[in-house]
Structure formats: structure tokens, C-alpha cells
Amino acid sequence: MFDDKIILLTGGTGSFGQKFTEIMLEKYNPKVIRIFSRDELKQWEMHKKFNNDKQLRFFLGDIRDKDRLDRSMDDVDIVFHAAALKQVPACEYNPFEAVKTNIFGAQNIIDTAINHNVKKVIALSTDKAVSPVNLYGATKLCMEKLFIAANAYAGKRDTRMSCVRYGNVVGSRGSVIPLFKEQKNRGKITITHRAMTRFWLTLAQGVEFVIKCTELMSGGEVFVPKIPSMKIVDLAEAIAPGCNIEITGIRPGEKLHECLVTEDEARHTKEFDELFIIEPELLLTYSNAWKEGKVLPEGFNYSSDKNDKWFSKEELQKIIEEL
């Protein structure tokens, strides 16, 4: 479905954007990928890295700027929305900046995509949007709600929008791995709680899942992958065996465990072999495309501490070596 298509990728110079571009150019044949981001240096570095003037275009702009987004949407077939302010402490200290990018920016994408009759829009979300305890998670929750509701007010246009929600990405910017490697050299690693768990997947897995969901979507769904959990203390020991571990206490805005599907969401969620699909509750135009999925039992929730898939220390070490 991507052959000869024009794709707009917001946040295109970030970790996801770089890997997405690599995989899309390697496995598919889009007509053009428009890399939309704010940082001219990162765009220049990415231009040199891929050296592909035939299929790549670099658009300087901010998703807060609706006029610039409007220009970037000309003739676009598919939008992948990965732009966000996502550093939790920075969002807490600069709250309205996070709102302007993660919420107002999302609305700008929705409006311009509908105006240009873009066929498919898929937005990246996070487990932190589930029962959020920090501002970043709250803005992502709002973003999800906006994209789901947008299917209703697209009217008679063909535009359809969905979200992908997943956990921590190995090796992405802001990952704890570089911090642990740096602390290893000093002989002591700090973690906030010995029992802390997180969902984890690689960058390539995240990109492949987003691409798959773009093919599957009918509009209004939130797609959640089935991915392994890991214990933060196991990760620390995989990076620095035998190092001293200092427990510093859970930070403001941080959870002990993360959740990808809540008990309330599970009532309108279908389970498949590799993913969960959260169907919209209030979207009257929804096609109910997932009748073949398994209905989840009452009281089900998909949380990182109750997962049936776990990374061992050996598997974590292998992933770290590959990075």
C-alpha cells in the first residue's frame, strides 16, 4: 500500500523517524517521504546519512504552525505523526509548551489532513497515556482522544485516523541505557525501585508494528502490541554485572509499573495473536471491523508486572550488545 505514495512523517529526524525512513526505503517503494521537523542540523545530518534526493524531502517546520503544516500536506496519501515533546521532566517544568506541541499540534495535523483529504493518519502514543500521572502522559491521552474523534468529524471525506500505543523503546533518545552505561564506568548504578517493570521493544519492532497497523486500520482504533516486560534491576545488572546499585526512590511523575490496556478499556478491546485492538466507544461511524477478535475476560488489564512475556538477563545483554 506504500508503493508510489507520498508520505508525511512528522518528527522525522527523531529516533523513530530515522528508523522508519530506513525501513520504508529498504522494504517499500514510496514516491516521496517528506521529513517534517524543526531542527535544521538534524535534517542536514539525516540528508547526508540517506543521500536520497529522489525519494526524500526535508520540510523545516513546527506542528504548532498550521500554515506550514497545510503546505506540507499537499497531495499527501499517508501521515505518520511522531512529533512530540516527550521528556517527562521538561514537560513538567514547561507544561504549556507540551500542551502546545502535543495537543494543539495534534489538532493542527487533524485539521490539515482532513482539509487535504489524506487517506490515512496514524499517530504514535505511549503507555504513559494510560491513567497518566505526568503531564506528558496526559497530553498523549488527549492526543489519542482527538485522533479517534476526528474520524467522526471528517464527514464524508475518506480520511481515517488511528493511534498506536506501545512501551519503552530500546536505544531511543532518552532511553535509560546510555545513563546506565555511563554510571557503569563510575561503579554505581542508580535505579528508583527494585520492583519497577517496563514494557520494552526495539526501535525496528516499533516501526514494523506501526507500518502493519497502517495497513490494518479502518479508523478509530488504538493498536497495542504484545511485547515483553523487563525488570529495571535486571537491565542494570545486564549492563553492569556486579556493580553496586543505589535505590533513589520513585521520581515525581513516575509509575512503579506501566499499563497498556486498562480494565475499563478491556471491555471494548479485541485480542489477537500479536496485538490488542482497542475499539472506539462513541464513534458512530466505526465499521466494527474486528468481529473475529477474542473478547477479553472481565477484570483483564495488560500491565508490565502481570505480563506473560519477560526478557531474561541474557536476552537483555544480547539486545544491548546489538545496540
- Name the residues annotated as catalytic: 128
Beta strands 56-60 and 78-81, pairing class:
unpaired
Q: Cell 521493544 belongs to which residue?
A: 201
Q: Residues 269, 263: contact at Cβ < 8 Å?
A: no
